[in-house]
Amino acid sequence: MNKQKLLSTHNLFTLRLLLSLLGAYIGTSYRDVSHDYWLVMMFLFTVIAIAPGYYRFRQHRDNLKELTRDIMHWSGGLCAGIVVYAYHSSGRIFHEETGLIVLLIVALTTYLDGVQRGWRCIFTGIFLGLITVCVAFFDSYLWQLSAFAAAALVYSHYRQSADSQTGTV
């Protein structure tokens, strides 16, 4: 399979939204272990964000500055998540709060990454922030979030198709 198509912005956006919805479900059903899920997602979102830049660097050897910026940005988010998890392990923060704090770190890191990358990362960061609010305050929210994510995916697909026809990215 073509790595360039696999690492397209729409495919990575779809993956992030599906993982976010899975996290919303875990946050609803298994609140006591959701912090573990969001810590793993912090690592996975880091890989998802760095992989396209690494692939471009391996192919063209010309975007080292961009790759370094991405690595520094996401390693900062990882360090913050690990510090929160260390507080949790020492008993200073409860399970539910740890999950929400790590989720907020993932949301903020993704949102700030979107300032450089584009609207899909910004939307994902806002969506993760919305999940944080829903997990903290509401009992029934999965179908609304799913509908919102589906609408965003349809729009992203439309934009991807329109951009490929006009030659823009």
pLDDT in tens, 92-140: 998 888 989 999 999 999 999 999 889 999 999 999 999 999 988 888 8
User: Which residue ranges make up each domain of the chain?
Assistant: 15-163
What Rg do the C-alpha atoms of the chain give, in angstroms? 17
| Residues 119, 123, 126: CA angle, nearest 5 degrees | 140
Phi, psi of 62 (to 5 degrees): -130, -5
Which is higher by pLDDT, 112 or 28? 112
Structure tokens that stand for 137 in this block:
């305050």
Percent of the chain with pLDDT over 90: 59
What is the rounded average pLDDT of the residues 74-83? 94
Give the per-residue pLDDT at 3: 57
Q: Average pLDDT of the chain?
A: 88
Give the per-residue pLDDT at 62: 79
Q: What pTM did the predictor assign?
A: 0.89
Q: Which residue has the tokens 């260390």?
A: 86
Identify the CA nearest to 5 among candidates 47, 55, 71: 55
Q: Which amino acid is at 66?
A: E
Give the per-residue pLDDT at 167: 58
Judge whether residue 74 has pLDDT over 70: yes
Torsion of CA 34, 35, 37, 40, to 10 degrees: 180
d(CA 78, CA 75): 5
> What DSSP state is assigned to residue 98?
H
